[in-house]
Structure 1
Amino acid sequence: MTKNSKINIRIPAEWELQRTIFMAPGNPKADNGKPNENLEFQYKRICKEISRFGAITLLDSKNNLKEFIHNDGYTYFPNKHFDIWARDAVFIPLISSKGVSALAPRYTFYGRHPLASTDPEAADDERLAEGMAKKLELPVSIPAPAFEGGSIDSDGEGTLLTTETCLLDPNRNPPTAGESPEVLKARIEAGLKAATGARTVIWLYGSSSSHDITRGHVDAIARFIRPGVVVIQKPDEANGPIREDYEKNLTALLDATDASGRKLQIEIIHGPQRAPEWPDEFCDSYVNFLFVNGGLIMPAFGNDNKKCDAAAASKLQSLLPEYEVVSVNANAICELGGGIHCITSNFPHVPVTYDEIRAITFNAFARKIREKYLTDDNTSVGQPLEDKVIAQFTRNGQEERPWLPKAIDNDEVLIAAVLAIASKQRKWSDVDSKGLVEAIESGGDDEILRVCLKDCIPGGFPEQDVAAMLTWRRALEACPRFAETVLAPIVSEFLNLPGLEDHERGLSDVEKTALMAARFVDAKDGLNKKIASHMGFTLASEFFRNLGRPGFKPDIHIKALLGLWAPEYLKAMKRATLLESRYFKSKNAERQRLLAYCILADWFTANEKDKMRADQIIWLYGSVTASDTVFRICPPALDTKGGA
């Protein structure tokens, strides 16, 4: 029995940062004993696409992989194995405050399914997980229930998806004498929670097909794509057993709540049409995809399913706009009963220090950042790359300004507000910020300005954003000294709050800006109208930062990246709750959550003199990811000793 339940552990979500992807090329032979060239070609193509986003470690059983995968850029890890299903035979990584450890379930060849391999060499896969973990010097735990990596799916926050047909399979987990199905299910669930740290297990029905070699692995049925959001594949069949299985699985999801008490958001992807040449065990699942550092690699089936392939990819891309969705034909693998997720295994990267994040950012993106920010004649090569990039986002080095707005005219206020609104829900790389400023400064009536504003982003700004910008312009026209008459009293009142100068309970500059932005959002004029027109807490933080405050905008990229430090986030949330109650006497959950991100970024600041450094580096990390849609991580040798 594992003792993992006594420490704070979790299975990381697969969309978290990955140090490497393990893959285990088996013996690529066709039934006639000759090389399976189609399988080999597709496997190489999948490796190539994955390597665009992260490192790959290939398990080399017989020291012949360099002939199979012609790419010296991959890492080769000597370890005996037989089959290609890395997801199920390789260990499952766990993260705790002590670093990374390995969960090594008993591998039963899918409950000794008749379609599973009976080759004598397949016995190597039974020992693969524990053997790999020991070579990597990882602590190993062996859970009580028998299951495989593809039979569970984690949201990274304490919720697991699994299926009854898989885990309640008597060939995997036989009941004890007189044990009822209900008691067996409770026993397996307790074992899962103890082994993985999960607080909630959501049971789907699974699959009734006798041709499903896995007996209903959840990674071919339904997957988390972010906490609280699950995609499920709807079969092409209008009726029959497969459709009945789908209805049962969908009902289970609709009835479920996750470990945070949320009802799940269910997104449906329509499956492909079954082709007559596909064998019965063909895995026709679009949700058998792989997350890897900003990329999502998904199966495509081609031929008569090209429209279905495109529709499925488009659906996932709309749900995950921050990712690059890549479709790869994997039919030769699917014919064996699995898909892309099945032949891969994620190994997490656990960044724990500011220096490590900085190193990852500026090493992994050095070439692209140089292309993006250095001058054409390379006159800035002598300047440290990091300082050059930061200077681009901090007004040439973050000029010093007093906390009380001083000599800030209305044009500058308007530009700060417009740029904040322009950053809402879109890639900043798409926004012509220079054109925005020129449009604002050029004046003109509302209709002329409306046209100019819409020209500053491909496809134009949504009408409500244009209206918000125009509202700000009219408000400033009615208040010629906005900074002096509106902002200054708010800032002054805030900075005079009791406790701000208390060194034991004092606030950092970033925390001050975040709380001041919240006070600005709450402020109202004499007509009881909100002063911060069309701005919530996030945009107000951006507005103050645009005015030169050492602030922080918790946008989608920063929130995603800071989510990597889950234990620190919990600590930040406690402080955010305290600050919210102390200075606002309220329990606004949204403001607490966003304030926690500000605090967390502040903790990763290099020194007291440059309070925007952490924000800028993390923002750069996210913005380059968004603009280039490639999240390249090229880590050194596996380092498993870091904390979570």
Structure 2
Amino acid sequence: MAAAKKAAPHAAPGGLRWPAEWERHDATWISWPHHEPDWPGKFGPIPWVYAEIARALAEHERVNILVHDEKTEEEAWHCLRMHEVKQGRIHLMQCPTDRVWLRDSAPTFVHDANGDVQAVNWDFNAWAKYENFARDQKIGAFIADHTGLPLTQPQRHDGKGRVVLEGGGIETDGRGTMLVTEEWLLTDVQVRNPGFTRADYERLFAETLGITKTIWLGEGCVGDDTHGHVDDIARFVAPGVMVLAHEEDPNDENHARSLDNVRRLEGATDAEGNPIRVVTLPYPRPVIMDGARLPASYANFYIANGVVIVPTFNDPNDRIALNTLAELMPTRQIVGIHAVDLVWGLGTLHCLTQQQPAARHARAKPTR
């Protein structure tokens, strides 16, 4: 009997498709830390955490690292060599940056109708909160120039300039389904695109990412500096399977937020009308620094070729989160990365990475 023909991945009528994170990568992009005010009083260990992240990723795929200047490059190489990172899979390139959160300042990569990769370069305004972002606005153009990939810059439908968006606020299953939060895009705090409605965003997602169904969750987690990024609370791990951060303690501020999202997802279906299985992840204990609650969440993991790196917080729930993800993604290694210091910068592993998917029609061409 002939083997069944494998179904082609979803593509919107325009041919664009935003691949799921678990699909094959050509590379992961990160940016080496240099902006000490992001980790006030605790910057010292951060480069070593980055070296461990690079080591775990380089076992499985190429890691492209932006370095702010020559001094940062020297420091990066020192840490990478000390951690015995596979240097053949590490590529450092000088590109001045304001901060290191490439999930938000780097492009979102999509497949076109031919299976080639394009870079969707959102405008970036430092989460409508900070003033220093001029260098980060140029990261998309730098990456496009380095890779030779086509770059698109989505414009507002009303002619009022480019669309402001961040990769940490959007999540896909690679089949036309997207997760976002109302807190991020539809409230009057840290407004990215004044005047934009729910319908405007859904039209934008369809035209630029090939999304045919947007699922709107409510709020993100407590302490989130971005005001509602979805990558701290809900992530797809396979077609039809999602993990959702849920706080069981009714006295914790995350409880009501996460319970609302659990209820919103009851009976949820994807873009193809299939039911979505929702698996809950616990939160770690509240991580407090200098009196401030930090956005510590296991949902901020990153899926690479053959490995998933997961933030851990010296908490008993670390084991539960790692085991849950291992059961859901059995073909990948699950590697915990200590993130108690890292989260003082108000982000962890997914926030600092951005995947560049491989082209679908052939082996991906090496990055220049």
TM-score, scaled relative to structure 2: 0.85
Structure 2 residue 270 is matched with structure 1 residue 258: yes
Give the SS at the match of 2:216. Answer: strand
Q: Equivalent residue for 1:52?
A: 59
Give the SS at the match of 2:299. Answer: coil
Write the distance in 1 (CA, Å) between the matches of 2:336 and 2:221. Answer: 28
Q: Equivalent residue for 1:185?
A: 198
Give the SS at the match of 2:49. Answer: helix
Say if 1:106 and 1:146, in contact at 8 Å, map to a contact too. Answer: yes
Q: Equivalent residue for 1:243?
A: 255
Q: Which residue of 124, 128, 131 corresponds with 1:111?
A: 128
Structure 2 residue 188 is matched with structure 1 residue 172: no
Shift of 1:283: 2.1
Write the distance in 2 (CA, Å) between the matches of 1:279 and 1:352. Answer: 51
Q: Equivalent residue for 1:196?
A: 209
Structure 2 residue 109 is matched with structure 1 residue 93: yes
Q: Equivalent residue for 2:135?
A: 124
Give the SS at the match of 1:315. Answer: helix
Give the SS at the match of 1:127. Answer: helix
Shift of 1:34: 7.8
Write the distance in 2 (CA, Å) between the matches of 1:289 and 1:31. Answer: 20
Give the SS at the match of 1:15. Answer: coil
Q: Which residue of 53, 71, 76 corresponds with 1:68?
A: 76
Q: What does 1:142-181 align with in structure 2 at a 5 Å threshold?
A: 142-143=153-154, 144=156, 145-170=163-188, 171-175=191-195
Structure 2's unaligned 5+ residue stretches are 1-10, 81-86, 157-162
Shift of 1:13: 0.6
Write the distance in 1 (CA, Å) between the matches of 2:28 and 2:331. Answer: 20
Structure 2 residue 339 is matched with structure 1 residue 330: yes
1:298–1:130 CA distance, 2 compared to 1 (3 A)? same
Give the SS at the match of 1:123. Answer: coil
1:51–1:161 CA distance, 2 compared to 1 (3 A)? same
Shift of 1:96: 1.4
**RMSD in angstroms over aligned alpha carbons?**
2.4
Larger radius of gyration: 1
Q: Which residue of 325, 346, 351 corresponds with 2:355?
A: 346
Write the distance in 1 (CA, Å) between the matches of 2:287 and 2:40. Answer: 26
Shift of 1:291: 0.6
Q: Which amino acid aligns with 1:106?
A: D
Say if 2:35 and 2:99, in contact at 8 Å, map to a contact too. Answer: no
Structure 2 residue 320 is matched with structure 1 residue 308: no
Deviation string, structure 1 residues 447-493 (Cα, Å, up to 9, x no partner): xxxxxxxxxxxxxxxxxxxxxxxxxxxxxxxxxxxxxxxxxxxxxxx
Say if 2:34 and 2:68, in contact at 8 Å, map to a contact too. Answer: no
Q: Which amino acid aligns with 1:247?
A: L
Q: Equivalent residue for 1:36?
A: 43
Q: Which amino acid aligns with 1:126?
A: Q
Q: Equivalent residue for 1:294?
A: 306
Structure 1's unaligned 5+ residue stretches are 177-183, 357-634, 640-644
Q: Equivalent residue for 1:7?
A: 14
1:317–1:278 CA distance, 2 compared to 1 (3 A)? farther
Say if 1:147 and 1:167, in contact at 8 Å, map to a contact too. Answer: no
Say if 1:18 and 1:292, in contact at 8 Å, map to a contact too. Answer: yes
Matched residues, percent identical?
27
Write the distance in 2 (CA, Å) between the matches of 1:274 and 1:138. Answer: 42
Q: What does 1:609-620 align with in structure 2 at a 5 Å threshold?
A: none
Shift of 1:254: 1.8
Q: Equivalent residue for 2:237?
A: 225
Shift of 1:264: 0.9
Shift of 1:236: 5.2
Q: Which amino acid aligns with 2:264?
A: A
1:337–1:236 CA distance, 2 compared to 1 (3 A)? farther
Q: What does 1:619-638 align with in structure 2 at a 5 Å threshold?
A: 637-638=366-367
Write the distance in 1 (CA, Å) between the matches of 2:39 and 2:180. Answer: 36
Deviation string, structure 1 residues 89-112 (Cα, Å, up to 9, x no partner): 010001113411111111121122
Q: Equivalent residue for 1:136?
A: 147
Which structure: greater helix fraction?
Answer: 1
Q: Which amino acid aligns with 2:18?
A: I
Q: What does 1:258-407 align with in structure 2 at a 5 Å threshold?
A: 258-277=270-289, 280-302=292-314, 305=315, 307-353=316-362, 356=363
Deviation string, structure 1 residues 359-381 (Cα, Å, up to 9, x no partner): xxxxxxxxxxxxxxxxxxxxxxx
Write the distance in 2 (CA, Å) between the matches of 1:329 and 1:91. Answer: 27
Write the distance in 2 (CA, Å) between the matches of 1:287 and 1:29. Answer: 25
Say if 2:288 and 2:294, in contact at 8 Å, map to a contact too. Answer: no
Give the SS at the match of 1:75. Answer: strand
Q: What does 1:521-600 align with in structure 2 at a 5 Å threshold?
A: none
Q: Which amino acid aligns with 2:107?
A: F
Which structure: greater strand fraction?
Answer: 2
Deviation string, structure 1 residues 130-178 (Cα, Å, up to 9, x no partner): 34224433222223342200100111111111111112244212127xx
Say if 1:102 and 1:141, in contact at 8 Å, map to a contact too. Answer: yes
Write the distance in 2 (CA, Å) between the matches of 1:218 and 1:342. Answer: 11
Q: Which amino acid aligns with 1:12?
A: P
1:252–1:130 CA distance, 2 compared to 1 (3 A)? farther
Give the SS at the match of 2:336. Answer: strand
1:298–1:31 CA distance, 2 compared to 1 (3 A)? closer
Q: Which amino acid aligns with 2:135?
A: D
Deviation string, structure 1 residues 521-557 (Cα, Å, up to 9, x no partner): xxxxxxxxxxxxxxxxxxxxxxxxxxxxxxxxxxxxx
Write the distance in 1 (CA, Å) between the matches of 2:141 and 2:300. Answer: 25
Q: Equivalent residue for 2:160?
A: none
Q: Which amino acid aligns with 1:87?
A: R
Write the distance in 2 (CA, Å) between the matches of 1:125 and 1:237. Answer: 38
TM-score, scaled relative to structure 1: 0.50
Shift of 1:332: 1.9
Write the distance in 2 (CA, Å) between the matches of 1:272 and 1:347. Answer: 30
Q: Equivalent residue for 1:80?
A: 96
Say if 2:241 and 2:279, in contact at 8 Å, map to a contact too. Answer: yes
Q: Which amino acid aligns with 1:637?
A: P
1:265–1:6 CA distance, 2 compared to 1 (3 A)? closer
Write the distance in 2 (CA, Å) between the matches of 1:189 and 1:38. Answer: 41
1:251–1:146 CA distance, 2 compared to 1 (3 A)? farther
